[in-house]
């Protein structure tokens, strides 16, 4: 089977927009594969935003300390292979095909039982865990797909630790409409005697996290109490901060930009400090400094190299749009900014547009290349009634071209945002390569 053929089969196996939370199918699928998730140490990461950055940062820090580390992400930006990595290197096309062939055979057998057909995400999770077992990794750092309690990644009973970045409003149709309900779902990853590190500070969700931790006899390490960061310098690609943990006090610099990036790196360092305490690793300050300094993450307030200043940011919900707005004001206070925005249909697009519209000179509403995409013309029709800087260009590539041409004439900043799928296709277009599904 060729890689492209595998992608077609995988993405048609179960449409990604049909979310079926629950652990029965993934547990049965992994059992049929020999329970590969029992063959490695595990760190589990959830949160409304920031979980990808934390997963990658913890993974890179562990690799720097000599571990063979599997990392599992979702969704991807440009290539499906981004989701499954060892020491930050993407799984090969050949290994993708091999893992799919093994897992899909078992999935097809399960599909004969009513209600037991695995979903797209369950198949991919099984592929990742099987690959990590066969490659004999030491540790897997995995981000949750959605929520936590019933997510397919929540199948390890004794993780080294769990991480909850923040709890905010997103996926309310599945996770619940209040912060307490959302926190309850995310707290489902906390396991017996396994500590949870969290960047959450709001009373309502923190109360739920702490209650679950007490139930599980687990320690809670939270930002502002057990660890914190002090920003020393905010300068594009030259940011500096101090990490202050239970024992550590580390002066650090990073090329990553944005307040969220620094916050997420502090959460990651708190997890590594815990692993040092339990002697899972021996902290090397030079390796930490180098890893944090060189840390990067595509699509996270990313400066794309170009003759224009182009910022790619996967802000895909209202809280992330608030952070994008803060970061743009922080770094580009006196510059005009134009934006390309494409949003999925399960998002609060009205709130998202209202948050950022005042800081953009022009907004080009476009459509993400995904079956969950909102109708961009409907968003345009709504937005144009309340804002005088809105245009409509359905095709992402055309919208990006027009925005870049106008911005070049004006010497303006270009921002592309709204969803992973908008940024992913735009990034491939800017690089001149074909984007996968």
CATH class of residue range 302-431: alpha beta
Region 142-151 average pLDDT:
95
pLDDT at 15 over 60: no
109 HSE (CA, 13 A, CB side): 11
pLDDT digits (tens, 9 = 90+) for 61-95: 999 999 999 999 999 999 999 999 999 999 999 99
Task: Determine the pLDDT at residue 305.
Answer: 87
* Beta strand pairing call for 337-342 and 413-417: parallel
User: What separation, in Å, do the N-terminal and C-terminal C-alpha atoms of the chain show?
Assistant: 18
Angle at the Cα of 81 (from 75 to 85), degrees rounded to 5?
Answer: 95
Q: For the domain covering 3-294, report its CATH number.
A: 3.40.1190.10
Q: CA–CA separation, 328 vs 334, rounded Å?
A: 10
When mean pLDDT is compared across 55-64, 86-95, 379-388, the lowest value belongs to 379-388
pLDDT digits (tens, 9 = 90+) for 97-106: 999 999 999 9
Task: Determine the pLDDT at residue 19.
Answer: 63
Q: Which residue has the tokens 């820090």?
A: 61
Tell me how crowded residue 55 is: count the other CB atoms within 10 A of its CB. Answer: 28
pLDDT at 53 over 90: yes
Q: Are 392 and 380 in contact (CB under 8 A)?
A: yes
pLDDT at 333 over 60: yes
CA dihedral for 318, 319, 322, 328, sign (positive or negative): negative
DSSP 188: G
When mean pLDDT is compared across 28-32, 72-76, 344-348, 388-392, the lowest value belongs to 344-348
Task: Determine the pLDDT at residue 16.
Answer: 47
Task: Determine the pLDDT at residue 142.
Answer: 98
Which neighbouring-strand residues pair with 362? Answer: 338
Task: Determine the pLDDT at residue 18.
Answer: 57
Region 317-331 average pLDDT:
96
Region 401-425 average pLDDT:
96
DSSP 227: B
Q: CA–CA separation, 147 vs 151, rounded Å?
A: 6
Region 295-307 average pLDDT:
93
Q: CA–CA separation, 367 vs 419, rounded Å?
A: 10
pTM, two decimals, is: 0.96
pLDDT digits (tens, 9 = 90+) for 104-128: 999 999 999 999 999 999 999 999 9
pLDDT digits (tens, 9 = 90+) for 254-273: 999 999 999 999 999 999 99
Tell me how crowded residue 90 is: count the other CB atoms within 10 A of its CB. Answer: 16
pLDDT digits (tens, 9 = 90+) for 246-255: 999 999 999 9
pLDDT digits (tens, 9 = 90+) for 173-193: 888 999 999 999 999 999 999
pLDDT digits (tens, 9 = 90+) for 363-372: 999 998 777 7
Q: CA–CA separation, 180 vs 165, rounded Å?
A: 15
pLDDT at 346 over 90: no
Nearest to 274 by CA among 218, 192, 203, 229: 218
pLDDT band at 226 (very low <50, low <70, confident <90, very high): very high
- Structural domain spans, the chain: 3-294, 302-431
Task: Determine the pLDDT at residue 369.
Answer: 79
Strand positions, DSSP E, 190-270: 196-198, 220-222, 228-233, 239-244, 249-254
Region 343-354 average pLDDT:
92
Strand positions, DSSP E, 295-378: 302-304, 310-312, 337-342, 362-366
Region 307-327 average pLDDT:
96
Q: CA–CA separation, 27 vs 30, rounded Å?
A: 5
* Burial of 100 per CB tally in 10 Å (0-12, 13-18, 19+): buried
Look over the chain and give the mean of its residue pLDDT values, rounded to a whole number.
Answer: 95
Task: Determine the pLDDT at residue 14.
Answer: 57
Which neighbouring-strand residues pair with 3? Answer: none
């Amino acid at each position: 089977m060729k890689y492209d053929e595998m992608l077609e089969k995988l993405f048609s196996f179960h449409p990604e927009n049909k979310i079926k939370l629950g652990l029965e199918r993934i547990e049965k699928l992994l059992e049929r594969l020999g329970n590969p998730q029992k063959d490695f140490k595990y760190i589990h990461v959830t949160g409304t935003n920031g979980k990808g950055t934390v997963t990658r940062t913890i993974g890179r820090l562990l690799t720097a300390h000599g571990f063979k580390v599997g990392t599992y992400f979702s969704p991807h930006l440009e290539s499906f292979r981004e989701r499954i990595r060892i020491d930050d290197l993407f799984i090969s096309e050949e290994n993708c095909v091999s893992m799919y062939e093994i897992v899909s055979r078992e999935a097809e057998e399960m599909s004969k039982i009513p209600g037991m057909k695995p979903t797209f995400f369950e198949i991919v999770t099984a592929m990742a865990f099987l690959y990590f077992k066969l490659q004999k990794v030491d540790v897997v750092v995995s981000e949750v797909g959605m929520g936590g309690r019933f997510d397919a990644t929540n199948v390890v009973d004794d993780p080294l630790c769990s991480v909850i970045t923040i709890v905010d409003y997103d996926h309310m149709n599945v996770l619940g409409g209040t912060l307490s309900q959302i926190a309850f779902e995310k707290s489902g990853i906390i396991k017996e005697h396994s500590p949870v590190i969290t960047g959450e500070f709001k009373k309502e969700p923190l109360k739920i996290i702490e209650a679950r931790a007490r139930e599980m006899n687990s320690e809670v390490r939270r930002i502002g109490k057990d660890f914190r960061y002090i920003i020393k310098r905010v300068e594009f690609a030259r940011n500096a901060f101090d990490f202050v943990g239970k024992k550590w006090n580390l002066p650090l610099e990073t090329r990553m930009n944005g307040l969220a990036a620094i916050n997420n790196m502090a959460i990651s360092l708190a997890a590594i400090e815990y692993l040092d305490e339990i002697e899972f690793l021996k902290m090397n300050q030079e390796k930490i400094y180098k890893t944090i300094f060189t840390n990067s993450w595509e699509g996270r307030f990313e400066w794309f190299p170009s003759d224009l200043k182009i910022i790619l940011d996967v802000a895909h919900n209202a809280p992330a749009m608030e952070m994008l707005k803060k970061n743009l004001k922080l770094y580009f206070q006196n510059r005009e900014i134009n934006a390309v925005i494409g949003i999925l249909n399960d998002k609060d697009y009205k709130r998202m547009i209202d948050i950022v519209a005042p800081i953009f000179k022009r907004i080009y509403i476009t459509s993400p290349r995904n079956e969950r995409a909102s109708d961009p013309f409907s968003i345009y029709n709504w937005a144009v009634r309340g804002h005088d800087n809105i245009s409509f260009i359905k095709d992402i590539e055309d919208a990006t071209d027009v925005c870049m041409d106008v911005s070049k004439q004006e010497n303006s900043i270009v921002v592309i945002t709204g969803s992973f799928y908008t940024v992913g296709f735009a990034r491939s277009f800017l690089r001149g390569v074909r984007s996968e599904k």
